[in-house]
Amino acid sequence: MRDNQGWDQGRDQGRRGEVAVAYLDHAASTPVRPEVLEAMLPCLRDGHANPSGVHRLARAARRCLDEARESIAADLGCAPGEVVLTSGGTESDNLAVRGVHARSGGSLVVSAVEHHAVLRPAEELGALVAPVDGAGAIDLAALEALLDPAVRLVSVMLVNSEVGVVEPVDRVVGMVRALAPAAVVHTDAVQAPLWLDVAAATAGCDLVSVTAHKLGGPRGIGALVVREGAREAMAPLFGGGSQEWGLRPGTENVAGAVGMAVALRAATRDRDAVVARVGALRDRLADGLVALGALEPPGRRAARVVGNAHVRFPGVEAEELLLLLDREGVAASAGSACASGAHEPSHVLTAMGWSPAAAREAVRFTLGWTTTAGDVERLLAVLPGLVERLGGVRGAVAPA
Partner 1 sequence: MQVLVALSGGVDSSVAAALLVEAGHEVVGATMRLWGGSQTSGCCSVRDVVDARRVADELGIVHHVFDFSDGFEEHVVGPYAAAHAAGRTPNPCVECNRHLKFDRLLGRAGRLGFDALATGHHARLERAGGVPRLRRGADGAKDQSYVLAVLGRRELERVLLPVGTLTKAEVRARARALGLRTAEKAESQEVCFLSPAGSAHDRAGFLAGRIGLHAGAVVDRTGAVVGSVAAVELVTVGQRRGLGPVAGGCGEATRRRYALAVDVAARQVVVGEATELLVDEVVLERRTWTDVARPDGSPVLVQASAHGVARRGVLVPGGVRLEAPGRAVAPGQLVALYEGDEVVGSGIAAGSPGGR
Amino acid symbol at 118: V
Q: How far is the CB of 344 from partner 1 (least distance, A)?
A: 6
390 contributes a contact to partner 1 by CB under 8 A: yes
Q: How far is the CB of 390 from partner 1 (least distance, A)?
A: 5
395 contributes a contact to partner 1 by CB under 8 A: no
Name the active-site residue from 64, 78, 205, 338. Answer: 338
User: What is the rounded radius of gyration, in angstroms, for the C-alpha atoms of the chain?
Assistant: 21
126 contributes a contact to partner 1 by CB under 8 A: no
Could you tell me which stretch among 85-93, 227-235, 282-290, 385-393 binds partner 1 (CB under 8 A)?
A: 385-393
For residues 264 and 316, which CB has a smaller minimum distance to partner 1 in the complex?
A: 316
Site for partner 1 in 165-194 (CB under 8 A): none
Environment class of 6 (CB within 10 Å of its CB; exposed 0-12, middle 13-18, buried 19+): exposed
Cβ(195)–Cβ(189) below 8 Å: no
Cβ(153)–Cβ(108) below 8 Å: yes
Through-space distance between the first and last CA atoms of the chain, rounded to whole angstroms: 46
Q: How far is the CB of 247 from partner 1 (least distance, A)?
A: 28
Q: How far is the CB of 219 from partner 1 (least distance, A)?
A: 20
Q: How many residues bind partner 1 (CB under 8 A)?
A: 20
Q: Report the alpha-carbon distance of residue 95 to residue 178 in Å, rounded.
A: 25
Comparing C-alpha atoms, which of 44, 43, 61 is closest to residue 52?
A: 61
Could you tell me which stretch among 122-130, 168-176, 196-204, 314-322 binds partner 1 (CB under 8 A)?
A: 314-322
319 contributes a contact to partner 1 by CB under 8 A: yes
Q: Report the alpha-carbon distance of residue 217 to residue 219 in Å, rounded.
A: 7
For residues 115 and 214, which CB has a smaller minimum distance to partner 1 in the complex?
A: 115
Assign 362 to helix, strand or coil. strand
DSSP state for residue 213 in the 8-state scheme: G
17 contributes a contact to partner 1 by CB under 8 A: no
320 contributes a contact to partner 1 by CB under 8 A: yes
Environment class of 14 (CB within 10 Å of its CB; exposed 0-12, middle 13-18, buried 19+): middle
Q: How far is the CB of 7 from partner 1 (least distance, A)?
A: 12
> How many C-beta neighbours within 10 Å does residue 12 have?
9
6 contributes a contact to partner 1 by CB under 8 A: yes
Site for partner 1 in 321-360 (CB under 8 A): 323-324, 338-345, 356
Q: How far is the CB of 10 from partner 1 (least distance, A)?
A: 10
389 contributes a contact to partner 1 by CB under 8 A: yes
Distances (CA, A) of 190 to 72, 151, 313, 360, 399: 14, 24, 28, 24, 29
Check if 43 is active-site. Answer: no
Q: Convert 336-349 to b/e letters by CB count within 10 Å (16 or more is b).
A: beeeeeebebbbbb
Q: How far is the CB of 296 from partner 1 (least distance, A)?
A: 24
Cβ(110)–Cβ(94) below 8 Å: no
Could you tell me which stretch among 24-32, 239-247, 366-374, 383-391 binds partner 1 (CB under 8 A)?
A: 383-391
70 contributes a contact to partner 1 by CB under 8 A: no
For residues 292 and 390, which CB has a smaller minimum distance to partner 1 in the complex?
A: 390
Comparing C-alpha atoms, which of 91, 78, 20 is closest to residue 256?
A: 91
Q: Which residues are catalytic?
A: 338
Interaction site with partner 1 (CB under 8 A): 6, 9, 13, 317, 319-320, 323-324, 338-345, 356, 389-391
